[in-house]
Amino acid sequence: MGKQVFFGSLVRSEIDKYKYNKEVYVAAIGNCHGCFYCVNACSESAIEEVKPPVIDYGKCTRCMECIKACPKGVMQLID
């Protein structure tokens, strides 16, 4: 894994260049508050409801919905 890309600094339209790209990863970085909006946003059930959330990369399609759903910016993109 390479550099960390903060979604907060990206315009929502820019996230499309990462969408469904299996060469990037989503990770919970920072202080998760346990709202689990990311879990509910994941249509593939790829996020385990633990604090911090654990992502099953075998199931994750990199749709980025978890990043969009996280109100604290904990779910982040790793490039």
User: The domain that contains 72 carries what CATH number?
Assistant: 3.30.70.20
Q: Is 78 helix (H, G, I), strand (E, B) or coil?
A: strand
pTM: 0.80
Segments forming the whole domain that contains residue 45: 4-78
Tokens of 2: 């390479």
Residue corresponding to tokens 């894994």: 1
**Which is nearest to 49 in space by CA: 37, 36, 58, 60?**
36
Helices (H), 1-79: 37-41, 65-69
pLDDT digits (tens, 9 = 90+) for 18-73: 889 988 888 998 899 999 999 999 999 999 999 999 999 999 999 999 988 999 88
Q: How many structural domains compose the chain?
A: 1
